[in-house]
Structure 1
C-alpha cells in the first residue's frame, strides 16, 4: 500500500468555508486513487483552516499530475460555496506536490487542478494533462467573453451585472462592504449638510472651504493654501495626478504664436524665449485632444471645455513656472494669450481653465483608458488563453485582482447614461466618447513603456520629476523580475514562437485592446524572448505603478475644487481685462456638481483593507525554486526602494508617495 498525506487549505476570506462533504481523487502518471470522501471530524471546512488527510492507494501513482475535487450536500443542509486555496500532497517517496486551486467551488461538479510545476503547451506529453489543459481553456473562453462597449473603444468583459462575473474575479465580501460604505458615507454626510442637492453658485472661497472640511488629506490642505501660485501650478504637471502630458518644447507649435517680445520681460534669468528653447528650459502642455469636443449640460445649463496650450519655463532655481497660456487651439483676436503680467483674475482664470481641461484629459485618457481599460484587456486575454499551469498565467494572475469588477462598476456608476461622470463632468456624455476614441486612435505601445515615453517627451533631465525618478526605478525592478522568470521557462526565441497559447494571448491583446491598429506598434505575434519580456513588463507596470501614479492622488489634488474644477459654466474669456472675482464664481461649477466630484474622487482614492501591495503574492502559484527566489529578491528590492522614497519625501514640502511600493496596489483594484 502507498500512503499519500493530503492537506486541504481553505481560503481565509469571509464565507470561504463549507459544511458540505468534500471528495478528492489523486491522479498520477501511473494510476489514480479511489474517489475518496475527506471525512472531517470538525464537521466542516472552516475559513483559513488547513485539514490533513491520508489517502491510501494499492500502488504508487507515479508523478502526480492533478487532483480532482468535488463536493456533495449533507441531508437537510444547503449547498454552499467553498473557496479552496490549494492542496498539497506528500508522496510515499517523501516529495511534496503542490496544487494551486484558488477557486470557488459552488456546484456539485468534479473539478480538475494541475500540479503546480509550470508547463508550456508544447511540454505536455501525458494525454490526461493535455485534455485537462484543453478543457480548462474551453471553459474559460465561455466564462470570459469579449464585449464591445462602444465603437472605437477597447473591448471589455461581457457581463450584465457583477454577479455575472466568475466568482474568482469578484470583490471579496470585505472589499464589497467597504467600497459601498465609502461610496455612500461621504455623499450622505454632504447631503445632510444640504450641499448634495443644491444647484446654487458658490458665493465665496470660504463657502467652498466648509464643504472641504468633510474629507481632507495633508496634501489637499497644501493644495487649498497654494492653488493660486504659479510654482505649484507648474509642479502639478510633473508630480500631480497627470504627469503624462508635459513634454519638452523644441519648437513652438504654429498655432501658439508666442514671441520673444511677449515674454522677454518676465522670463527668469534668460535673454530670450528662443535661447531658452535651445537650452532645453521650455516645456509644452497641449490639450489638442479636447479641441471641438461638445461640452455637457449640467443642471440645465451649458458647460464649457477648452483645449489649452501652456508654455512653461524651468527657472534657474529649478522651478517650473507657466509663462504663457492660450485657451483654444486656433489663434485669433478672440483667443488671447495670457501671461503672468496680466491682471490677477485674467491670469488666474486662464490657469483654472487649464486645470479643468486637465481633469478631463487625465480622467479619460491617462487614467481610464491607459490603466483601467488596458488592464482589463490584459486580464481577459490572460484568462481566455493561458491555463493555470502556464508560467505566464502564474506570473500575471496576481496583477488582475479585482480589475474586471472595478471596471464593470466604473462603466455602471461613472460613465453610464446616469453615471456621475456623465452627469457632472464637462466632458461627460457625447464628449466623453469623442475624447476616448481620439485617445485610442493615437495610443502607442512605446508610450506605455516608461523609459521610451520619458525619452520621447524629452524629460530625461528636468529636475524634481519624482514620477520619472520613481517610475524608472520601478520599471527596472519589474523588468528584471519578468526577465528572470520568463528566462527560466523560455531559453530561446524558438520556445516563444512555438507556444501557441502565448501567440493567442498577444493576438487577443492586439485585436481587442488596440483594435488591430498596426500603427499602435503593439506586436501581433511574439517572435523573441525580449519581445515577451517587454509586453509582460508593460502589463504589470500599467496595472500597478502607472495606475497608482494617476489614481492615488485624485483627492489630494482634486478635493479642493478650485484647483481641479470638473466643469466650468462660462466660456473662456475672449479678451483681457474681463475677469474679476464675481466672474470667477459664476464660472466655477455649482454646489451639487462640486460635491459629486469631491465625493467620487474621495472614493477612487480610498484604499481597501484587503489591499495587496506590489510584490506581494498571497496566492502561491509558483512552486519551483527559481521563480520563488526571484520574487523574494523583488520583494527585498521593493522594500529598500520604499525606504529610500520615504527618506527623500521627509525633506519635501509636498511628498511624492504615489510610486511608493508600500502604498501601491498590485493591480487595478479601485
Structure 2
C-alpha cells in the first residue's frame, strides 16, 4: 500500500524526501567572450550573435533540459559505509520546474527533486552533483524539506557546475552546518579533506575555464615583450628588488623573449567560482572596460589627439554641461554597442556627456580654495596618508648613500608668516602641524618619469596648519627634483627644491595653484596605485587564495570571511588585463606611465599587516594617540577628521562582530593552536601569499584568540570599509579633472621665459598646459565613473546574500546585532553631516562625507560599504 505523510511518499521503510534545487543558466550575454574581440564590428557581431543564439533556449527549453540532465546523490553525515565514510544515496534527477517559487530571484530557476530515503541513511549533510549537459550552470542552493527527526536542511552552493567530464572527481557540496576540523563527523572527514585537495590542485599545468584550482604566482603577466620591447615590464614578486603580494596562478605559457614572464591573455584564468555568477552588472563591467581599452580609447585618441588640451576651465566643465562633440564616424562605430551607449550616455548624434561630479555640483570654483585643498586630505578619496609633523624640518627615510641628502629645505621662517602667531616649535608641540609627504615615494622614480616625453613632475611635501576652527590651512608646498652627479652624471646625489608659499594674485598666485596641482598629481597617483590597488585589491588576493585552499566551507572562519572575498579575484584579473597592464588604462592616464605598478612594489616593502587596522594606522601616522578613556581606545589629533571619526565606528562594529562570532567556536587559545585548517591557512597566507614579507616579525602568530579576532577584523576592514573609503569617492572628487589631475606635463616655467609671462596674462591656460590633457582626462573619467558605481545586487556590510548562510542560530543573532549596530552608525554619520560646526564634513564644495555610510542604492551614489572588493 502507498500512502502520504508529512515527509512525502513512502513505501514500507522507504520514503521520499522532497528537495528544491535553485540554479541559473549561463549568462546569455557572455560579455567576457564577446569583449575578447579586437574590433568594434566583431564586438557587435558577437553581441547580436549571442542574442540570437539564446532565443527560445533560455527559459522553457533550458529548464526542460535541466530536468533530465542534472543528477544528485545525497551523502550521509551520520551513517557510514563499510569503509567509515558517509553513505552515498542513489542518483536522482531534477523533476518539476518551479517558476514561481517564493524568494526566487530574477534569472533563477527552481526545480523539485525527490530522494529515496530510509532511517538507516541518517542525516544528509552533503551531496554529489553531475551535469550531463555540455553547458555549465550556476548552482545557487539546494534545500531538503522535512528530514525525519531533523527538519529542513540548507545547502548554500553558489558555484558553477560544468559537464562532469571536466572533473576528476564528482562535484560535492556541503550543508550549512559548522564544524571545526576536530569536530567533523567521521562520515564527512574524507569528503571534507578531498574537496580541499581538489581546490589546491597539484601546482602544474595550464588552468582551464572549468577549473576550480587556487594557487599562487608572481605578477609576471603585466608586460608583453613578444609584442613590443616597450611593453616589457619587471616581474613583481619573488625578489628583494620587486616584492609583491601573490596573485592567482594561471599556468599560461611563457613569452619567448622573457622565459620568466607569462603571455598576457584577454581571458585570464580565475577559478570559476570567483567569476561573477550573480545579477551584478559585472559582465557589463568586464565588457565595458575591455571595450574601452581595446576599442573606444584608441578611437578617441585618433579623434582628439593625445596632446589635445582644454582651452579653459569652462571647456573642462563641458564634459558635464554641454558635452563633447565627436566626429560622426566615431559615433557611428560606437553607437551600435548597447553597453557603450549606456556607458557614455550619448545625447544626440555627436555628443559625449557625463554626470556632473559632486565637487562642482554646488560651486564651480570651490575646488580652487585652500580650505578645500586641505579638507580633501582628511575627507577626500585618499584620506589615510596625511601625517602629524613631529620633527622639523621634515626628514627623508631614503638611504643617503644612494640618494644623497633629501632633508626638506622648508624653513621655520617661511612657515611662521602664516602660523597665526605661533612659532613652528609651538605648533609642533600643540600637534597643529601636519604633512602630506610624497617626497620619498616619488624621488627615486623622478629621473625616469621626467625622462619621459609626456610626464614632468616634482616630489612634493605639503605642510598644513590645524586652525582653531578645525580646518587645515596649507602653509607651504616643497617641490623637489633629483640633483644628479657622480662620475657618469646620472646618480642622484641630493635634491633641488623650491618652496612655494600661498599667494592669490599675479604670477605667484598661479604658481601656488600649480604647486597644489603638483601635490595633487602625486596624491592622485599614490591613491590609485598604492592606497587603492596595492593596499586593498592586491594585498587581499593572497588571503582569498589561502582561505579557499585551506579552510573548508564547513569551517566557521570560512563562513565568516567568504562574503568579503566576493568578486575580488575576478576584478583583479580584469585589472591585470586592461587596467594595470603594460600600455593599459593606468599607464595611459597617470603620471608614472610604465613605472606605475613598479612604484607600488617599492611601497609594498613597507606594508605592515597589523598597521592596516584603523586605530593602529592612525597612531602610526600621529593622527591619534592611545587613550583608554576614549570610546575606541584612541584620541584623535583632529577632532573633525571625517574618515577617522566614521571609520573608527565601523572598525569597532566589525571587531565586535568578529569577537562575538569567534567566541561561539573557540573557548581558549589552545583551541586556536589545535585547529589544523586554521593553522595551515595562516601559515600559507603569510609564507606563500605574502612570501616576500614572510620573515617580518610583525606578523601575528595565530596562537591566540586575540590573533584570530584581530587578523580576521583587519581582513574584513580592508575588504569592506577601507576599500569603500578609497574607491567610491573617485568620480565625485576626481571626475572633475581640474580638482584631481593625474598627470603633470611640464615644470614651473623659468622667470623671464615666454611661458612665465603666461602665468600672469592667462593663468587658466598656464594651468591647463601643465596638467592632464583632454584625452587623458577622458580615459580617467570614463574608468572611474564605472568603478565608482554600485551594482543592483551588491551586498553591503551587515548583509548576506542568503539568509541560510549558517545553521547556527547563535551566529545569526550575533550577525543581526552587527547589522543593527551599523544602522545606528549610519544614523549618527548622517546627523554629523548636518552639524554646521563640523566644517570638514562638507567644506567649501558642500560635499557631505558619505562614503562610509554602510548602505546604498544602485548606481553612482557616493556612499555604501560593500562586503568585498567587488569593483
TM-score higher than 0.5 here?
yes
Over residues 88-120 of structure 1, what are the superposed CA-to-partner deviations in whole Å (9 max), with x where a residue is unaligned? 343211433332322222222632222321112
Distance 1:188 1:487 in 2: 52
Corresponding residue for 1:141? 200
Assess, with a 3 A threshold, how the Cα gap between structure 1 residues 262 and 91 changes in structure 2: closer, same or farther: same
Select 1:179's aligned residue among 285, 299, 303.
Answer: 285
Select 2:866's aligned residue among 656, 665, 668.
Answer: 665
Contact between 1:555 and 1:598, CA under 8 Å: does it hold in 2? yes
Distance 2:453 2:791 in 1: 37
Over residues 158-215 of structure 1, what are the superposed CA-to-partner deviations in whole Å (9 max), with x where a residue is unaligned? 2355463233211236423431575468996997899754532332212212124322
Assess, with a 3 A threshold, how the Cα gap between structure 1 residues 329 and 320 changes in structure 2: closer, same or farther: farther
Q: Which moved more, 1:294-303 or 1:334-343?
A: 294-303
Corresponding residue for 1:501? 677
Q: CA deviation at 1:515?
A: 2.7
Distance 1:645 1:576 in 2: 52
Over residues 111-167 of structure 1, what are the superposed CA-to-partner deviations in whole Å (9 max), with x where a residue is unaligned? 2222321112222351x4121112111111121121210232211012355463233
Assess, with a 3 A threshold, how the Cα gap between structure 1 residues 575 and 193 changes in structure 2: closer, same or farther: closer
Q: CA deviation at 1:23?
A: 2.4
Corresponding residue for 2:272? 167
Assess, with a 3 A threshold, how the Cα gap between structure 1 residues 326 and 297 changes in structure 2: closer, same or farther: closer
Contact between 1:306 and 1:328, CA under 8 Å: does it hold in 2? yes
Q: CA deviation at 1:440?
A: 0.8
Distance 1:657 1:222 in 2: 16
Contact between 2:579 and 2:586, CA under 8 Å: does it hold in 1? yes
Q: Which moved more, 1:277-286 or 1:4-13?
A: 4-13
Distance 1:2 1:170 in 2: 41
User: What's the TM-score once normalised by structure 1's chain length?
Assistant: 0.91
Corresponding residue for 1:105? 161
Over residues 570-610 of structure 1, what are the superposed CA-to-partner deviations in whole Å (9 max), with x where a residue is unaligned? 12467799444243232122221121121122122122222
Q: CA deviation at 1:347?
A: 0.9
Corresponding residue for 1:437? 601
Over residues 245-283 of structure 1, what are the superposed CA-to-partner deviations in whole Å (9 max), with x where a residue is unaligned? 111111122422433322323223x33122111111111
Aligned length: 663
Distance 1:334 1:60 in 2: 83
Assess, with a 3 A threshold, how the Cα gap between structure 1 residues 312 and 13 changes in structure 2: closer, same or farther: farther
Secondary structure of the 1:285 match is: strand
Secondary structure of the 1:508 match is: helix
Distance 1:42 1:103 in 2: 20
Distance 1:139 1:408 in 2: 22
Select 1:640's aligned residue among 824, 827, 835.
Answer: 824
Secondary structure of the 2:868 match is: coil
Q: CA deviation at 1:461?
A: 2.8
Q: CA deviation at 1:516?
A: 4.3
Q: Which moved more, 1:19-28 or 1:129-138?
A: 19-28
Secondary structure of the 2:678 match is: helix
Unpaired segments of 5 or more residues in structure 1? none
Higher relative contact order (CA 8 A, sep 6+): 1
Over residues 472-528 of structure 1, what are the superposed CA-to-partner deviations in whole Å (9 max), with x where a residue is unaligned? 111111111111111111111111111121112112221244334256555364100
Contact between 1:353 and 1:572, CA under 8 Å: does it hold in 2? no
Matched, 1:30 2:84: no
Contact between 1:335 and 1:574, CA under 8 Å: does it hold in 2? no
Distance 2:149 2:572 in 1: 47
Q: How does 1:361-510 map to 2 (within 5 A)?
A: 361-429=526-594, 431-459=595-623, 460-510=636-686
Distance 1:101 1:146 in 2: 24
Distance 2:136 2:470 in 1: 62
Matched, 1:154 2:231: no
Corresponding residue for 1:348? 513
Q: CA deviation at 1:565?
A: 1.4
Contact between 1:481 and 1:631, CA under 8 Å: does it hold in 2? yes
Assess, with a 3 A threshold, how the Cα gap between structure 1 residues 525 and 317 changes in structure 2: closer, same or farther: closer
Matched, 1:561 2:737: yes
Contact between 1:308 and 1:329, CA under 8 Å: does it hold in 2? no
